[in-house]
Amino acid sequence: MIAREYNGVTQAEHENIRDFLILHYRASQRGDSPFWSDYLDQEVPDSLAHKIRLFNAHGQVAFYEEESFPDTSWASLWLGQDQWPSGYDPILDNYDFQRLQSRFNQMKQIIAQAASNMPAQKDYLARYCAMGA
C-alpha cells in the first residue's frame, strides 16, 4: 500500500516536471534549428495541453496538489516567453482596482523609505566583509 502511494506521488511529480520542461521549449516558439523544431512538433501530454488551454483562455494556471512548481513559476514561464492569454479571469471583475492601486502605492512608499534608511552597498560590504578578514 505504501509503495503504491509512493509510486503514484513520484510519478505525478515526474509528470509535472516533464510538463514544465516541455513548456519551456514549446513556449519559446523557436524553430531556427532542428533541436527547437523537434520540440515544436512534439505531441503535448494531455496534462500540459489542459494547462495551456486554460492559461490561453483566461490567464489561469491549473494547479494541483502534487505540483512541483508554484503557480507563479508557471505564469512567469508563459509571460516570460511572451505568451499572453486571449482573455482574463472573470473574477477580476469583482476587484476594486483603485483600492488595489492605492495599496500598491503605499507599499512602494514603505519600500522606498526602508531602502533610504539602508547603507549604500559599498559601505555595507566594507563594514561587514572587513569583519571576517
Please check whether residues 72 and 99 belong to one and the same domain: no
- Side-chain half-sphere exposure of 115, counting CA atoms within 13 A: 7
Nearest of 16, 24, 92 to residue 50 by alpha carbon: 16
Please check whether residues 125 and 112 belong to one and the same domain: yes
Q: SS3 for 116?
A: helix
Residue 53's domain comprises: 2-90
Query: What does the pLDDT read at residue 40?
Result: 81
Q: Mean pLDDT of successive 10-residue segments in the chain (133 residues)?
A: 89 93 88 83 92 94 86 94 92 92 98 95 89 60
Q: SS3 for 22?
A: helix
Please check whether residues 35 and 50 belong to one and the same domain: yes
Please check whether residues 6 and 42 belong to one and the same domain: yes
Total structural domains in the chain? Answer: 2
Please check whether residues 26 and 86 belong to one and the same domain: yes
